[in-house]
Amino acid sequence: MTEPRTARTYNQNHAPRPYTPGRRRVSIYVSWSYPAEAGRDPAGLDNRFSTMTEVRRVSWPAYEKPRWSDPFQFQQGIAGALELFFRSWVPFQTCVQEATGHAVPVYQRVDQAGFRTVLDERVLADTDTLFVFGLDHTTTGQEAGQAEIEALRHFLSREDACLVLGPHHDVGASDDLAVRDIEYHHHGDLLVPRQQRFAGYVRGLMRGLGVPVENRYGLRPAVRDGDQLAPLSVARDLDPRGWLDGVSHFTSHQHLPHYAVTTDEPGVVHVLARQPVDTTRPHPFTEAGATEFDMFLWMPPAGDRAGDVLLADSTIFSSLFGGDESPRNFWRNLVST
């Protein structure tokens, strides 16, 4: 990561960005309560993020430089692992700022200092494309309020509005412990517990906005030629906006959500990209005959909703899991179309 050109700041309110024709204003909203996530007891097995010490142990020696391993320089508890997310979004923010000329603010539902920010006009008034990263563990009880749903409806009444929902994975939903163990060995990530259920907040938004999609499982993508991510199956005839132009794959991640469409009504949701799943590792999803999972979806404008609704997991916008020009093309397409 290159050194930023300006000094980092903290503990101030957002300065609204002026409307600029042809240049989208992009915002990120992280649905977690930082204190609720960072304050989890590391002795708990399920439904929590890893501590930084656990990340170091599993990823050794990737994080053994002092800037990661020295407790005087970087937090070693769960908070340290949360800060990795913020660092990993910087390349996406930089790419978007270069494309649009506007800085990309990152809001948290509840931040490190306990300040609560709900989705309202303070966030939406100077936003054209809003990313909602559904990274709240359901056990923390983050729920979308009716006023927030109405604010998003109003936001989506604008023809230029775009809402990108990213509910993260739902691992271990079954009460059967044997099934949870099968899911765990399918994705194979030692840092993910047998049960890790995310995105209660985004699920509430989807119910309120009438988005007939559910985030299910944490599926391991297939690879080719040793370690190359298998290319996406892209429905380019359903992508008139060109969101997937120049895109053959996203970023590699061991446990990605399947965005299951829950309506049979045609034309409501278009599945634009599917990811081949690793069928060499047993999982209830593949045992039912599936070979691909839905990864990028589009709800075209309909009725009173003039804006677009997209679904794409937050890992696509993170540098933690590698990445090359293909996901960067996707980033640029989303904020330029």
Predicted confidence at residue 22, as pLDDT, reads 92
Q: Report the DSSP beta bridge partners of residue 308.
A: 162
The pTM assigned to this predicted structure is: 0.96
Predicted confidence at residue 3, as pLDDT, reads 58
In a domain? residue 15: no
Phi, psi (rounded to 5 degrees) for 18: -70, 150
Q: How much of the chain exceeds pLDDT 70, in percent? A: 99
The parts of the chain modelled with pLDDT lower than 70 are 1-4
In a domain? residue 19: no
Q: Report the DSSP beta bridge partners of residue 28.
A: 106, 131
The domain of 260 spans 26-336
Given a contact cutoff of 8 angstroms between Cβ atoms, the answer to whether 256 and 218 are in contact is yes
In a domain? residue 20: no
Q: pLDDT tens digits for 165-208?
A: 999 999 999 999 999 999 999 999 999 999 999 999 999 999 99
Exposed/middle/buried for 199, CB within 10 Å: 0-12, 13-18, 19+? Answer: buried
Supply 141's token pair: 């009880």
Q: Quick one: which of 158, 264, 143 has its CA closest to 206?
A: 143
Q: Quick one: which of 152, 265, 273 has its CA closest to 207?
A: 152
Given a contact cutoff of 8 angstroms between Cβ atoms, the answer to whether 257 and 216 are in contact is yes
Please count the structural domains in the chain. 1
Q: Indicate which CATH number applies to the domain containing 93.
A: 3.40.50.880
In a domain? residue 196: yes
In a domain? residue 9: no
Given a contact cutoff of 8 angstroms between Cβ atoms, the answer to whether 131 and 27 are in contact is yes
Q: Return the residue matching tokens 């910087």.
A: 90
Whether cis (ω within 30° of 0) applies to the bond prior to 61 is yes
Supply 81's token pair: 């692992």
Element (H, E) at 201: helix 200-209
In a domain? residue 21: no
Other beta carbons within 10 Å of 302:
11
Predicted confidence at residue 308, as pLDDT, reads 98
d(CA 53, CA 159): 46
Q: Is the dihedral of CA 159, 199, 174, 216 positive or negative?
A: positive
One-letter amino acid at 138 equals T
- The Cα-based distances of 96 to 104, 129, 337 in angstroms read 7, 11, 12
Q: Return the residue matching tokens 């996203």.
A: 250
In a domain? residue 315: yes
